[in-house]
Structure 1
Amino acid sequence: MKKDLEPEELLGVILEYAAKIANERSLDNVLMLMADMGKQIVVSDRCTVWLLDNQKGELWSKVAHGVSELRVPLGAGLAGHSVATGEPIFIDDAYTNEEYRDVLLNGALRTDQQTGYRTKALMVIPFRNNEGEVIGCYQAVNKMTASEKFSERDLRNLSLAASYSGKSIESAMLAQEIEETQREIIFTMGEIGESRSKETGNHVKRVAEYSYVLALGLGIPQQEAEILKMASPMHDIGKVAIPDAVLKKPGKLTDEEYDIMKTHTEIGYNLLKNSKRRILKTAAIVAEQHHEKWNGKGYPRGLRGEEIHIYGRITAIADVFDALGSDRVYKKAWELDRILNLFKEERGQHFDPRVVDVFFEQLPTILNIRDRYADDVLEQQQNG
């Protein structure tokens, strides 16, 4: 049987999690840390962090101990009641409580019947944003000490955590919203570059997904792979400045026209290079270097081998794979076997050998992405 935390232990837990949360940008990870902190503070078996989704009229939990993502209608269950009233809820035994009997029968007790879990003590504490609006709540389940009941001390301690949580979650949600806005702008700008050359905007979606899979396969940390995924749609943004006569020419380009086309890499880099945002700094690298070749015969700078940034080497193979497999104004789509044979031939020539190897290792996933984001599939989804 566990014991309540001593004051110094409680302070240690709060300081430990405060430091972790302060350095965390991912909303999902912040929510998990919040749930872990709440669970330790009140010595509960489970702890769920619920957030209010006003748009959908729901409460949702991305992470909860013992379960996956949950969504319930606003006002449903103890969490919904607490969020609606702004008041905390204490229940010593869910099976004998009369005040919330109907709510429990439609919530915790029904879940117990489905899962075999035995809910006894419950505590729900709402938390607020900087404007004082309730944006979610903590829900602790089953006290793990000898008393098996949550106390006034638990209420004070979890209320303290809830006060901190509301502000931390609001900051994480704002950071996520900013990131999602950046991602949307980047995809839109990438699609503009592609649409000028009469190429589908779905090309940038596929290149983004391929780049992410290749980055992970190369051992790049997930957060960095996510940044590359968000940045890679900008690889051809420099095409916005290429004349239509060159960009949309159906036949083979002359040497002079090809020189003009090649400038899209430098144009894209110059558009993005001065940004201090990590996503756009990554996009600047990708825009400039995705046509460099491992053997030094690419452009614009003729970089060789590992002189080419790994982002450029990854996006190069993602871009070529999708371009060859798609109809363009100057050619028909290649068959898969022909593309794969080319990659084998160009391993160590056009492409980084290690990236080629990872490409073949991840080929089933890449082909699944190609099918999922096929032009006709996305068009059907948009029209349907």
Structure 2
Amino acid sequence: MYDFEQPRLKKDLEPEELLGVILDYAAKIANERNLDNVLMLMADMGKQIVVSDRCTVWLLDTQKGELWSKVAHGISELRIPLEAGLAGHCVRTGEPIFIDDAYTNLVFRDVLASGALHTDQLTGYRTKALLVIPFRNNEGQIMGCYQAVNKMTESEVFSERDLRNLSLAASYSGKSIESALLAQEIEETQREIIFTMGEIGESRSKETGNHVKRVAEYSYLLALGLGIPQAEADILKMASPMHDIGKVAIPDSVLEKPGKLTDEEFDIMKTHTEIGYNLLKNSNRRILKTAAIVAEQHHEKWNGKGYPRGLKGEEIHIHGRITAIADVFDALASDRVYKKAWELDRILNLFKEERGEHFDPAVVDVFFEQLPNILKIRDRFSDPL
């Protein structure tokens, strides 16, 4: 049972205050493409506009016949059947719902019993006033709904004014969420294509798709550990699977050779970095521009003895330095056509020796700090037997 403090009463927003809230959130939402962040801003805007204790933004999942929310103030992610609760009723009928007191309302008594009141029993929270309003996309199709809970003014009930104001927010929400969903779909499509291309490169050398997944996860973890901003770490995670895309142009006789390569064969193998870079360098997309850097520089060494350009120290882009250690760790920790996987202690000793030689010392330090998490990733994405 949760212990809820008695909330302090507030006042409805004056027209100038309401306009200020709407303009403030409209500016924030217009600059946001991440769906989760858009939903949080929407919930915050709705909560302030109608002066409610809580506000949930529900989205319709037509494939599963469910409503879901990652943004429910005070609650974690939720999924409910479309047939359940007031949110489901609102989305199915397209009509807003007003309830002054959930425990005395007769019209929606059965619906409430299966939703809000059941949750109250679990949490100790007291649901009283409710306002639920659907929102639509540009084609007029219902995408989900706002659900405001408990009016925080002296009246303790939602008004027609609240309905109008939240309807305004709902109208803007549908269009903004639709844009965020489209951006998310485009990003997921890009990510899928990049992973597929990365897997193609690795499959030429008989690697599994899990190699690129592990390298992506390692790179992401190391980037965050180095203090790289979340957005940039996300880009690196999406781009790093392309590090070996240039292998598509390397002959099978070199890629599949079980023994040590001759000097001539190794020179051929090294060209995969330049090939990958040339494949990607002309793109204006940030993900592919990052992938071009990673493809070219992941075999450069901190001491300047790497390839293809012999870059040294911070001449090597941080994305290349990160992917270098992620790729080497996974290569050594995995069976390859030319060797068996190394024991962990042997890999760690090598990394200590190569700190400041092959690898950026700062990246090596973060690698050791994150080692428990790195090993979890290795196990989660282990190759099939």
Deviation at 1:200, TM superposition (A): 1.1
In 1: Cα distance, 2:51 partner to 2:158 partner: 9
What's the offset of the Cα at 1:148?
A: 0.3
CA positional deviation for 1:276: 1.0
- 1:199 CA displacement: 1.1
CA displacement at 1:262 relative to structure 2: 0.4
**What is the CA–CA distance in structure 2 between the aligned matches of 1:64 and 1:109, rounded to whole Å?**
16
- Equivalent position SS for 2:240: helix
Question: How far apart are 1:324 and its partner, in Å?
Answer: 0.5
Letter in 1 for 2:96: P
Contact residue 82 and residue 89 of structure 1 kept, 8 A: yes
| 2:66 match | 58
Equivalent-residue separation in structure 1 for 2:183 and 2:207 (angstroms): 32
User: 2:209 & 2:67 partners in 1: Cα distance?
Assistant: 34
Asked if structure 2 preserves the Cα contact closer than 8 Å seen for 1:126 and 1:134, the reply is yes
Paired amino acid for 1:99: V
What does residue range 256-335 of structure 1 map to in structure 2 within 5 Å? 256-335=264-343
The DSSP-based 3-state class of the residue aligned with 1:194 is helix
Q: 1:31 aligns with which of 30, 39, 48?
A: 39
| Alignment match of 2:88 (pick from 77, 80, 105) | 80
Where do residues 1-384 of structure 1 align in structure 2 (5 Å cutoff)?
1-376=9-384
Q: What is the CA–CA distance in structure 2 between the aligned matches of 1:334 and 1:300, rounded to whole Å?
A: 26
Unaligned runs of 5+ residues in structure 2 are 1-8
Gaps (5+ residues) in structure 1? 380-384
The equivalent residue for 2:4 is none
Separation in 2 of the partners of 1:75 and 1:285?
50
Kindly provide the CA deviation profile for residues 225-274 of structure 1, in whole angstroms up to 9, marking residues without a partner as x. 11100110000000000011111111111111111100000100111111
1:177 to partner: Cα distance: 0.5
Distance 2:246 2:100 in 1: 64
| Letter of the structure 2 residue corresponding to residue 344 of structure 1 | K
Secondary structure of the corresponding residue to residue 214 of structure 1? helix
What is the Cα-based RMSD across aligned positions, in Å?
Answer: 0.6
Q: Distance in 2 between matches of 1:61 and 1:329?
A: 46
Contact 1:122–1:139 at 8 Å: present in 2 too? yes
Does the CA contact (< 8 Å) of 1:212 and 1:229 recur in 2? Answer: yes
Verify the 8 A CA contact 1:4 1:43 in the aligned structure 2: yes
SS at match of 2:326: helix
TM-score normalised per structure 2: 0.97
The CA distance in 1 between the partners of 2:381 and 2:22, in whole Å, is 45
**SS of 2:147's equivalent?**
strand
Which stretch of the first structure deviates more once superposed, 269-278 or 164-173? 269-278
Deviations 1:258-302 (CA, angstroms, capped at 9, x unpaired): 111000001001111111111111111100000000000001111
How many residues in Structure 1 have an aligned counterpart in Structure 2?
377
Distance in 2 separating the partners of 1:329 and 1:29: 45
Aligned residue for 1:348, secondary structure, equals coil
Offset at residue 75 of structure 1 (A): 2.2
Instruction: Give the secondary-structure state (helix, strand or coil) at the position aligned to 1:276.
Output: coil
Deviation at 1:76, TM superposition (A): 1.0
Contact 1:36–1:47 (Cα < 8 Å) also in 2: yes
Query: Deviation per CA, 1:117-157, whole angstroms, max 9, x where unpaired?
Result: 00000000000000000000000000000000100000000
Q: Which residue of 2 aligns with 1:382?
A: none
Of 139-148 and 268-277, more deviation after overlay is shown by 268-277
Give the conservation status (yes or no) of the 8 Å contact 1:75–1:83.
Answer: no
Q: SS of the residue aligned with 2:44?
A: helix
Following TM superposition, by how much is the alpha carbon of 1:25 offset from its aligned partner in structure 2, in angstroms?
Answer: 1.1
In the alignment, residue 337 of structure 1 is paired with which amino acid? D
Find the residue that maps to 2:357 and give its secondary structure. coil
